[in-house]
Structure 1
Amino acid sequence: MKKFYPLLLGSLLLLGACKFPNSIKSSEPNDSLQTRIDSAEISNDISEAPADKAVYSKIIKIDYQENQSILNILPLLPDSSMASWGWKKEEREGMVRSLATSNQFTDTTENYNTIRKVTPHYFETQVVDGVWTASLYKVSENHYIVITNDMVGDGSDVNAFEVKGKQITALSMDHLIGADPGNLLLKNSNEACKSLLDDYGMFTYDFSDPNLISISSSYFTKKANAECFNGNEITFKFNPKIKRFDLVKTSWGKP
C-alpha cells in the first residue's frame, strides 16, 4: 500500500495547481464591467432628477393685436436696460413670436419673470424681489420715446430711448425732463439743503400713464423740509412735438 502514496500525493498537487489560477482570475474586478455599472448609475440619477422636482410650466395669455406696440419693442431693447436680472434677447423674441401666433406663451421660470400688467403703452413684470417696467410715449406712428425702469432694493436704474421703426437710440433722462429731479425740487441751495439732497435724494418713478411722468421722494416732507424744497413730487407731461416732457408742477404729496 505504501507505494501508492507518492502517486496519490502527486495527483492532489496537480489538481490544486490547475484550479488555483482560476480562483484568482475570478476575484479580480472587470474594468469594463465596472465602468458600465458606474455609467448606468449616473445615467439613472440624471433621468430620475426631474421626477424629484416638478418642472414649472404655465400658459400666459396676452392679446397680441391690442398690445403689439409695447410687445414688439421689447426685443429691441439692449441688455443694459435690464442689467439687474437679465432677459436675453432670444427669450424676448421667442415670447413675442408665440404671442403673435397664438396670443399666449409658456412661462417656465416660476417667481422670476412674472408679468403683472400689460397695456398698449406699458409693460410690467415681477423679477424675484424687484420690478421691471417699459413705457411708451408716442411721437407719431411707429415712433416712440421708450423709458425702462429696473427697480431693485437699492434704487432704480432708469434708461431712455428713442425708437423709430426698428432703429433705437439711447437718450439722457435729464435731457427728456430738463434737469435732475433733485435740482428741480431744490428751493434753497445752501450747503445744508444740498447735503440733505445728496444723502436722501432717492426717487421713485411712475411711468404707467401714457402722457405723464411722476417722480417723488418718500424721504422729504413739507413739515420737515419746506425750507429746502418746493415739494417732494414732480409731474411732467409728454410733448410729442419736441419729444420731451414739460414740467407741470411740483407739489407736496404723501410721503
Structure 2
Amino acid sequence: MKPSALLLLILFLFSCKKNEEKNDPKITNQKAQDTLKVQTENDDIEKLDTLKINYLEHKNLLNILTILPDSCMRSWEWKKTDRIEYVQKIKQNNYTLPSKGHFSSIELIQPNTIHIGVVDGSWILSIYKIKPNNYIVLTDDKVGDGNEFMAFEYLNGELIYIPFKDVFDQFFTTLLINENDKKCLEYFKDNYIGFEYDFIGTKKIHITNSLLEEAKSCFKGNTLNYEFNPEMKRFELINIENTKS
C-alpha cells in the first residue's frame, strides 16, 4: 500500500472513532456527569471552607489582630508573621479559608468581634471604639480549664497593656451579698471558672455563671451586665440579674 493511501486509511479510521464517540449517548452522558461531579465538589468545598470577609468593613479589627502580642494566644500559637500574611490575603481577596495548622474554624460574627474555634475551646478578639484610631481591645483565650484575658488600649497603631480588671467597673465585687461571708466567698472562688463572657454588639458584655444559682443566699444574681463608656475608657456595671442557663 502506498504511503498516501495508508495515511488516508488512518485518517478515515480516526474520523469514524470520533463519530462513534460523538453519537454514543453513554459516552456523552458520562462526560457530563464527570464534569458535574467536579463542579459540585468544588461548590461544596467553597461553601464549607470559604468565609467571605469585607476587609474595609473590618479593617480596624483585622489590623489590630496583626499587632497583638503572641502571649494573647498562649494556649495555641498564631505568630505575628502568620497573622500579617492572613490579613493581607483577606485584604486582597475579601475572603479567607480555614488554616488547618492553627485553628479549626473562624467566624466573624460582628464588626468589632472575631471568634476563632481552637482545639478544645475558642479565642475571641473584641474592640470598643473610644474615638477614631483609638480603641479598648479585649482578648479571651478560652480553653478547658478557664479563660485567660488580656486588655489593651490601641492608639494610632500602638498597643498599651491594661490590667483586665481595671477595664471593668466593680469587677465581680458586687456579686456577693456579704463579702465577709467566708463560706460564700469560698464558693465563689471554687466556681470562678464557671463564668461565661458574652461580647454583644459594639458596647455590651454579659458575664454569667449559672452555678451561682445553687447558692442564691450568697449572691445578688448570676449575671453582670456591663456597657462600654468611651469617655471613661471602661465598662460600667449596669445591673445584676438572675438568668436561667
The answer on whether the counterparts of 2:113 and 2:124 sit within 8 Å (CA) in structure 1 is: yes
Aligned to 2:82: 91
Contact 1:185–1:231 at 8 Å: present in 2 too?
Answer: yes
Q: CA deviation at 1:80?
A: 0.9
Q: AA paired with 1:245?
A: F
Distance 1:173 1:131 in 2: 18
Going from structure 1 to structure 2, the CA distance change for 1:204 and 1:136 (only over 3 Å counts) comes to same
Partner of 2:198: 206
Q: Distance in 1 between matches of 2:208 and 2:135?
A: 24
Structure 1 segments of 4 or more deviating over 4 A? 56-59
Look up the match of 2:188.
197
**Distance in 2 (alpha carbons) for counterparts of 1:117 and 1:59:** 12
Residues 1:186 and 2:182 are matched in the alignment: no
Q: Please tell me whether the aligned partners of residues 135 and 208 of structure 1 are also in contact (alpha carbons under 8 angstroms).
A: no
Larger Rg: 1
Change (3 A) 1:85 1:111: closer
Offset at residue 148 of structure 1 (A): 0.6
Q: CA RMSD in A?
A: 2.0
- Whether the 8 Å contact between 1:69 and 1:120 is mirrored in structure 2 is no
Please give the alpha-carbon distance, in whole angstroms, between the structure 1 residues aligned to 2:103 and 2:140.
Answer: 17
**1:120 corresponds to:** 111
The counterpart of 1:216, out of the listed 188, 191, 208, is 208
Give the match for residue 136 of structure 1: 127
TM-score (norm 1): 0.72
Contact preservation (8 Å) 2:204, 2:227: yes
**Is the 8 Å Cα contact of residues 150 and 156 (structure 1) preserved in structure 2?**
yes
- Does 1:226 pair with 2:226? no
2:234 corresponds in structure 1 to 244
Please report how far the alpha carbon of residue 104 of structure 1 lies from its aligned counterpart in structure 2 after TM superposition.
2.6
1:209 aligned partner, one-letter code: G
In structure 2, distance between residues paired with 1:72 and 1:252: 38
Asked if structure 1 preserves the Cα contact closer than 8 Å seen for 2:63 and 2:87, the reply is yes
Change (3 A) 1:137 1:158: same
Instruction: Count residues in correspondence.
Output: 197
Q: How far has the Cα of 1:159 moved from its partner?
A: 1.0
Match of 1:73 among 64, 80, 102: 64
Structure 1 residue 226 displacement after superposition:
2.3
When residues 117 and 250 of structure 1 are mapped into structure 2, their CA distance, relative to the original with a 3 A threshold, is same
| In structure 1, distance between residues paired with 2:208 and 2:109 | 23
Per-residue CA deviations over 1:157-205 (Å, capped at 9, x if unaligned) read 1111100121101111211113442x22011221111111121122111
Contact 2:125 2:139 in 1 (8 A): yes
**Inter-partner Cα distance in structure 2 for 1:209 and 1:184:** 24
Which of 148, 154, 160 aligns to 2:139? It is 148
Does the CA-based 8 Å contact 2:136-2:154 persist in structure 1? yes
> What are structure 1's unaligned runs of at least 5 residues?
1-55
Provide structure 2 residue ranges, at least 5 long, that are not aligned to the other structure: 1-44
